[in-house]
Amino acid sequence: MKTTITDLACKQGIVLEDVRLQLQGRSQRCLDAAATGAGTETFLNTQLRLSGGLEIDDQFTARLFGLDCAGEGTLGTLACGFLAPKLQQLNQREFSLLTLPIGEVKLRDVRIAVGDKLRASAEFGSAA
């Protein structure tokens, strides 16, 4: 994720530094994420914070929620003004994990665990 954000920022003339990602598990199928970092463009500096969550329900539908951007100063306001509409397009967006192209195999369970590392596990079985 850092490379993607860094590349997008560079295209806008912004240099990102000290980007950090924090994950916190709410349950076995839900997590919150927050990315913070410092940005610089010519003489303007800012701190940005992107946050949101991911939840997977019993029908294996993943939903993004609470997507938000907060920034300090003029550059932060401009950056969040650019990012907010894109985040709102993704907010509450759902996609089924059952439609993944995995052939005759069916997803039976999925779990997410957040600790020192992010761990995702899935159980599969035959479609029949």
**pLDDT for residue 2:** 45
**pLDDT for residue 1:** 44
**pLDDT for residue 5:** 62
**pLDDT for residue 98:** 86
- Residue 52: strand pairing partners: 33
**pLDDT for residue 128:** 59
| In the chain, domain spans | 2-97
C-alpha angle with apex 98: 95 to 103, nearest 5 degrees?
A: 135
CB environment 95-112: b (16+ within 10 A), e (fewer): eeeeeeeeeeeebeebeb
Residue ranges in the chain whose pLDDT is less than 70: 1-9, 12-13, 127-128
Whether residue 109 contacts residue 126, with contact meaning beta carbons closer than 8 Å, is answered with no
